[in-house]
Structure 1
């Protein structure tokens, strides 16, 4: 499995300006989806709904959301909720359990790890990882630096 294609808005934010990506290639804007945030599903868990309210304003401000992203964003928020719930359980019950075989990892350890992997995967789709944040920060200016002879 190769690299995941980034949305045109992310490539443009990281890019050089004038519709070009960081390598100077023209960015195809893709289909003309309406760029408004989706409404949250009513079935989200409390923690997932809180995460939705936390991330949607910033993603919407960057023009990264459309109504069609509702499912993917819901999956991201629910993965966050599962990660938080497993972490809270481990905090109370500890990382191990007593069993006939001796000490074993608490089942919530596996849940936490799986939710963390899923969370990172979904976060990358929305530009919510630290590396993407840095790339967006680098791409926030117009690429014209008077002191840089290569710009």
Structure 2
């Protein structure tokens, strides 16, 4: 699995001093995008719009968002909405369905699984997974990680 480069802001939050990452290397701040949150697309589903409203304040506080992130954040929110709808269908209807061929897995099981993978992939880009949140929390102290034998 290839590693995706973290945004400069995330690397700096994990860093040990101003302008340096956790390894002490200078962090290139990257392009000077305006760090203002994007407006939610008006075509988001109701559940996706609710997720947008839930995550936007925290991401905005960290100054991670720019208007150009709108599509990626919308994809994350819609993946969440699909995951929720499929999960609710399985809860309502059960894991299996009866078909001409016999008992089969409910189609929503696969939909929930695929949406969950997509949602986790997008969430990682915004620091919304437990592991990326922990990395941010450790880095925000600007102190060496006591669990790191090299730091």
Normalized against structure 2, the TM-score is what?
0.93
Conserved? CA contact 2:13–2:142, under 8 Å: no
Matched, 1:95 2:88: no
Over 3 Å counting, the alpha-carbon distance change for 1:101 and 1:144 in structure 2 is: closer
Give the aligned CA root-mean-square deviation in angstroms: 1.5
- Offset of residue 10 of structure 1: 0.7
Matched, 1:49 2:49: yes
- Offset of residue 144 of structure 1: 6.8
Corresponding residue of 1:74? 74
CA shift digits 1:37-67 (9 cap, x unpaired): 0000000001000000000100000010000
State the distance in 2 between where 1:87 and 1:45 align.
16
State the distance in 2 between where 1:144 and 1:119 align.
31
Corresponding pairs, count: 147
Corresponding residue of 1:126? 126
Segments of 4+ moved more than 3 angstroms: none
State the distance in 2 between where 1:50 and 1:118 align.
18
Normalized against structure 1, the TM-score is what?
0.93
State the distance in 2 between where 1:24 and 1:123 align.
27
Q: Write the mapping of 1:11-26 to structure 2, written as runs, cut at 5 A.
A: 11-26=11-26
Conserved? CA contact 2:36–2:63, under 8 Å: yes
Q: Secondary structure at the match of 1:115?
A: helix
What 5-or-longer segments of structure 2 have no aligned partner? Answer: none
More deviation, 136-145/20-29: 136-145
